[in-house]
Structure 1
Amino acid sequence: MTTQHQVYGAPLVTRPWRARRLRLPRQHAEVDPTAELAAPEIGEPAAPSIEVARTTRLSETFRALRHRNYRLFYTGQAISLTGTWMQTVAQSWLVIELTDSKAALGIVTTLQFLPITIFVLPAGVIADRVNKRDLILATRALAMVQALLLAVLVAAGSVELWHVYVLALVLGVSNAFEQPTRQAMVVEMVGKDDLINAVALNSGLFNGARLVGPSVAGVLIAVAGTEAAFAINAVSFIPSILALTMMDLSELKISDRVAPARANPLRELREGLSFVKRTPAALMIIIIAAFLGTFGYNFITVLPLVARYVLQGDSVDLGFLTAALGLGAFLSALVIAGQRRATRSQLFVGGALFALLLGAVALSESFYLSMLFLFLTGVANIIFAATSNTSLQLATPDHLRGRVMALYMLLIAGSTPIGASLTGFMAEVLGVQVTIGLLAAACLFGVAVGFLYYITHREQIEATAHASAIVATAP
């Protein structure tokens, strides 16, 4: 038998030994060690370069932007949402300046979201019938006029509380028709393969604007007054409107959509609700969203109360608290955007952490500790929100998506009148911290109910949620 010394030293060796010794170095030299880094999700070899690997990772995170229509939409939204968050802070602070009332702050938030409660389900039916781009254009124009009127009233020194109430209602009507339509249009811009990425990027954009807008608004209000924030918001709608008009509607991905014959609107509405009721995977998401939307997503009311009555702060402090929440959500969204999987573990963990961290905000009396808890609350919020939104859309047939997402928006935003009024009046009676603690407990209870439903309906959920659990990769 040939020894190891003879194998390395002899000019001729047997084939088995030559194959074993010579093939391995040659393979090692030809395969780039960064190939798996370049495309870990897809599993295909990438160009042999660390720089290319980094570029691939970055392109995965922002892959939805390769669609021209979505790029236009995203750019317009980036500018408009910053102005919207500036107005959100300005409106809350204006009400506090006019009334110094916790209940009044809850009422104005209730009025702003009440039209969503009333109109969002019919808006979903309309969204499934009409050109979504044109409907969004109309709602953006209405919101721009509303912001401009607020700016003029405040600048003229003639603003009264009832003005704010009425204009909050007008903005609510705009949002009631815009939100479900926008949610349903995203998949038409990017397709199902890139939907989770687009939803996460939208969440990152929303919360990136929450990071910038309130911080700027807090300083701007202190220097130039609330009217400056309202005016800037009005102007910020112009780029968004222009971007929508530049879209190429022929590129929308609606070829798979089934277009049934027109029916009675109430019958179409019942069709969407019936789908959710008989689809366990969708119903599970709706259960948790109902609790978190009603009791947890009341930051427009909660944060001004925390800033003013717990931390004894001013508009600048409110801006930074809101920005901390936005920063956590923004960074979380960037991580989620790089994924191609929306899992149920993310749904439950995100929801539970959101509730627990909201409870931590209730206990904190330190400004910096409150900022930290709000940052982490933002992280947990996006884990839940991006996962629930994507899973629900992918589990829904194209021709029902507007109606199903309208129900989702009803629970996430349309339930705010209940939560905001409850928060305002409970804060008057029980105090701000006790109120937030009780709201956090209600959120945790909702996650527990959703998890119990999952345990008792596991097989049905697995059977109806396969498409929502894993996003298919391109071949």
Structure 2
Amino acid sequence: MSVTSTGGAFASLSNRSYAMLWWSGLVAFLAVGMQILARGWLAIQLTDSNSSFGLVLLAFGVGMVTVTPFGGVAADRFPRRALILGSHASLTLSSLWLGIMVVLGQERFWMLLVASFIQGASFAFMGPARVAMTGEVVERELLSNAISLTQLTVASTQTVGPALAGVLADTPGFGLAGVYLLSAGLTAVGTIPVMLLPVSRPKWREARSPFEEIADGVGYVRRLPYLRVVVISTALMVVAALPYLAFLPKFTESVFGVGALWLGLLQGANALGGTVTALQVARIRDNTKLWQLRVTSGVVVAAGVAVLAVTPDHLVALAVLFVLGGAATTFQTANMSMSLLLAEPVYHGRVQSLIMIAFSAQSLIAFPLGVLADQIGLRQMHGYMAAATALVVVWSIVAGRTARRQTQAAGGRV
């Protein structure tokens, strides 16, 4: 998988179709970043409970888990532009609804649950379609660069989004209502570049039921040892380590004793680390380095979660989260790139949906983790998460070596 093309960190943006997709993501993910803070802070204001906040994440996760497999099939069967447009519409309307309710003083916890479910289902369609469309419009030698730039939009907007939302939430006359309404407007604006994308229909070999196609996608991943390790280790890492982000609002309030502004800064530090590393990974043109990247970044993630568990205050946490965010983004970028490079294009949507199920599982596990945190404390829970992450990294290394030997023996590509 060695690549020698040049063009710098932003080489993929010379592709007009990818550039439209990228600019759309830049605006839409800014809105998503703002809602990360707004959702967490509103949940705390309405419930003041780890487990109740976990329920909000659970609703988001249920939306993703139940819909994501069908989102993957849809991305392999239907025009991906239409799927992205539909997802943007539902994200816009759900955010607009919450904003209006807060303005009227009628916000209720159940509304937050419903909106979270809708947003999870929207991501279930948008995620596989966006990544699969990247594989469709970008040439193979620039796939890793394109995925890195996509992660750059996610990380950079999550630097600006939470920080901006934290400032606006504490601004008299704006508050959480303004955050939700502005988020709705940004998501709507993000649909404009998508409308400029070409309409294309993925190649489809035969018409079968969605359940048959889901089973076919799972079977395809099982048949390729290297791809199987990438997908499984991604899922395990997301479930074991990434919930640290879900509990950052409560960590900020109850452990560090600071408010929404500092929550935005801490989430921004995490995303800023991702921005810096995504920009560096985008410069890599040798795809054979992707496996080493994912192993190294996995080790740093495990160490970062362990350090976060004993971080004394919010000032030190800024540095910890910067490093942790960078490592997590590198791990995700390497895995998404490898999954596209290893899989046939006709399976891109379904393979990405399997990876996205792991991200929904991250939300699902937030509720039992929230209950556990209520019993043993947030710091202790993060310690257990760090230990589990370390075990995932060890398994990934061992299983990866075995898969490499099996794939090479069969004459496959690694």
1:18-167 residue pairs with structure 2 within 5 A? 42=4, 59-167=7-115
Instruction: Report the equivalent of 2:355.
Output: 408
Separation of aligned partners in 2, 1:128 and 1:465? 27
Separation of aligned partners in 1, 2:181 and 2:4? 47
AA matched with 2:196: M
SS, match of residue 356 in structure 1? helix
On the 8 A contact 1:304/1:318 being kept in 2, the answer is yes
Separation of aligned partners in 2, 1:429 and 1:390? 39
Instruction: Report the equivalent of 1:33.
Output: none
Separation of aligned partners in 1, 2:184 and 2:283? 33
AA matched with 1:294: V
Identify if the C-alpha distance between structure 1 residues 418 and 173 changes in structure 2 by more than 3 Å, giving closer, same or farther: closer
1:358 aligns with 2:305: yes
SS, match of residue 284 in structure 2? coil
SS, match of residue 231 in structure 1? helix
CA drift of 1:121 comes to: 0.9
Note the alpha carbon deviations across 1:55-107, whole angstroms, 9 max, x for none: x7xx4210110111111121122122112111110111011011111111111
1:172 aligns with 2:117: no
Instruction: Report the equivalent of 1:225.
Output: 175
Instruction: Report the equivalent of 2:158.
Output: 210
Separation of aligned partners in 1, 2:362 and 2:32? 18
| Pick aligned residue for 1:455 from 401, 404, 410 | 401
Point out where structure 1 has 5 or more consecutive residues left out of the alignment: 1-40, 44-55, 470-475
1:330 aligns with 2:278: no
Note the alpha carbon deviations across 1:221-263, whole angstroms, 9 max, x for none: 011211111001000012211111112336xxx8xx7531112
Instruction: Report the equivalent of 2:252.
Output: 307
AA matched with 1:367: H
Count residues with an aligned counterpart. Answer: 408
Note the alpha carbon deviations across 1:315-347, whole angstroms, 9 max, x for none: 011001100100110000000001112331111
AA matched with 1:241: T
On the 8 A contact 2:87/2:122 being kept in 1, the answer is yes
The structure with higher relative contact order (CA 8 Å, sep 6+) is 2
| Pick aligned residue for 2:366 from 388, 406, 420 | 420
CA drift of 1:464 comes to: 7.2
Instruction: Report the equivalent of 1:234.
Output: 184
Instruction: Report the equivalent of 2:221.
Output: 276
Separation of aligned partners in 2, 1:323 and 1:463? 45
| Pick aligned residue for 2:334 from 370, 387, 390 | 387
| Pick aligned residue for 1:349 from 288, 292, 296 | 296
Note the alpha carbon deviations across 1:180-201, whole angstroms, 9 max, x for none: 1111111112121211001000
Separation of aligned partners in 1, 2:363 and 2:330? 24
On the 8 A contact 2:136/2:345 being kept in 1, the answer is no
1:247 aligns with 2:227: no
CA drift of 1:117 comes to: 1.0
Structure possessing the higher radius of gyration over alpha carbons:
1
Note the alpha carbon deviations across 1:262-298, whole angstroms, 9 max, x for none: 1232222111101111111111112211211112222
On the 8 A contact 2:9/2:283 being kept in 1, the answer is yes
Separation of aligned partners in 2, 1:109 and 1:345? 32
AA matched with 2:122: S
AA matched with 2:395: V
Separation of aligned partners in 1, 2:364 and 2:151? 24
Instruction: Report the equivalent of 1:261.
Output: 206
Note the alpha carbon deviations across 1:375-426, whole angstroms, 9 max, x for none: 0011111221111110111110111111111101111x12123321122111
Identify if the C-alpha distance between structure 1 residues 441 and 465 changes in structure 2 by more than 3 Å, giving closer, same or farther: farther
AA matched with 1:277: R
Identity of aligned residues (%): 26
AA matched with 2:292: S
Q: Provide the aligned C-alpha RMSD in A.
A: 1.8
AA matched with 2:237: L
Separation of aligned partners in 1, 2:74 and 2:411? 26
Identify if the C-alpha distance between structure 1 residues 466 and 358 changes in structure 2 by more than 3 Å, giving closer, same or farther: farther
Separation of aligned partners in 2, 1:457 and 1:206? 31
1:370 aligns with 2:320: no
On the 8 A contact 2:51/2:368 being kept in 1, the answer is no
Identify if the C-alpha distance between structure 1 residues 306 and 417 changes in structure 2 by more than 3 Å, giving closer, same or farther: same
On the 8 A contact 2:79/2:199 being kept in 1, the answer is no
On the 8 A contact 1:454/1:461 being kept in 2, the answer is no
On the 8 A contact 1:132/1:185 being kept in 2, the answer is yes
| Pick aligned residue for 2:238 from 282, 290, 293 | 293
AA matched with 2:365: G
Identify if the C-alpha distance between structure 1 residues 430 and 262 changes in structure 2 by more than 3 Å, giving closer, same or farther: same
| TM-score (structure 1 length as normaliser) | 0.83
Note the alpha carbon deviations across 1:345-394, whole angstroms, 9 max, x for none: 11111111111111111110221211111100111112211111101111
Instruction: Report the equivalent of 2:140.
Output: 192
Separation of aligned partners in 2, 1:424 and 1:383? 27
